[in-house]
């Protein structure tokens, strides 16, 4: 991985950081920690449970290709070379178009969830389900800075985990109902939910 986007990876026991108890699982859970604004990079690797399944260089390349096909690129200003349409050159901060393109390159399909239906409408036991990606609003520095943050949620050996790169370790959900409640809470606070499926 390129300098400035080195992942702070953590291999931990699946039962660590349990939410609501239950623990007991001995499976290893891959978890990358947050650096700068590379939360999408970390969320993708956490979703796929593989170190450097995606790299900064690959996401930058995807963002660059998306820019080439941007019909509004003639309207750029000098700042556009840093604050590009699909990412920030210095800190990352990739958008949903990079997410979709990156996962499609791994033969995954991304379906934007209709918030009006609630999280209970998602087939959490579907064979094609890889996991969930949430984009949530965040506030830092006592509310002086606002932005958005990518979070991966997935089931590993039948146990659901919150793999948020802002967490010190993966958080285990008690059960599927607990996952659904978490997702509904995120949606009610302005979150966007994407369902990641194995493409046929």
Instruction: For residues 89 and 101, give the distance between their C-alpha atoms in angstroms, rounded to a whole number.
Output: 18
In a domain, 15, yes or no: no
In a domain, 5, yes or no: no
pLDDT per residue of the chain (200 residues) written in tens, 0 to 9:
333 344 444 444 333 333 333 444 435 899 998 776 678 999 999 999 999 899 988 998 888 888 666 555 555 443 343 334 433 433 347 888 889 999 999 999 999 999 889 999 999 999 999 999 999 887 765 656 567 889 999 999 999 999 999 999 999 999 999 999 999 999 999 999 999 999 87
3-state secondary structure 84-107: CCCCECCCECCCHHHHHHHHHCCC
In a domain, 18, yes or no: no
In a domain, 8, yes or no: no
In a domain, 175, yes or no: yes
Residues in the chain: 200
Task: Determine the structural domain holding residue 155 and report its residue range.
Answer: 38-198
Active-site residue list: 39, 149, 164
In a domain, 3, yes or no: no
In a domain, 182, yes or no: yes
**Contact in structure between 32 and 52 (CB atoms under 8 Å):** no
In a domain, 179, yes or no: yes
CATH number of the structural domain spanning residue 136: 3.90.70.40
Around 159, how many Cα atoms within 13 Å sit in the side-chain half-sphere?
25
What total of structural domains would you count in the chain? 1
Structure tokens given for 32: 């990358």
């Amino acid at each position: 991985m390129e300098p400035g986007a080195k992942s702070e990876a953590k291999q931990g026991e699946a039962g660590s950081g349990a939410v609501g108890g239950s623990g007991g699982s001995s499976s290893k859970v891959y978890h990358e920690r947050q650096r700068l604004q590379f939360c999408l990079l970390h969320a993708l690797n956490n979703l796929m449970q593989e170190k450097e399944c995606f790299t900064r260089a690959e996401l930058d390349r995807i963002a660059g290709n998306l820019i080439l096909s941007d019909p509004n690129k003639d309207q750029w200003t000098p700042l556009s070379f840093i604050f590009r349409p699909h990412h920030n050159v210095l800190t990352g901060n990739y958008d949903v178009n990079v997410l979709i393109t990156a996962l499609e390159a791994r033969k995954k399909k991304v379906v934007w969830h209709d918030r009006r239906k609630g999280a209970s409408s998602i087939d959490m036991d579907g064979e094609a389900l890889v996991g969930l990606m949430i984009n949530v609003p965040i506030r830092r520095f006592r509310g002086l800075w606002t932005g958005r943050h990518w979070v991966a949620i997935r089931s590993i050996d039948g146990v659901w985990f919150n793999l948020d790169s802002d967490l010190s370790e993966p958080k285990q959900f008690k059960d599927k109902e607990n996952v659904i409640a978490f997702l509904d809470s995120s949606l009610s606070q302005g979150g966007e939910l994407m369902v990641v499926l194995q493409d046929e």
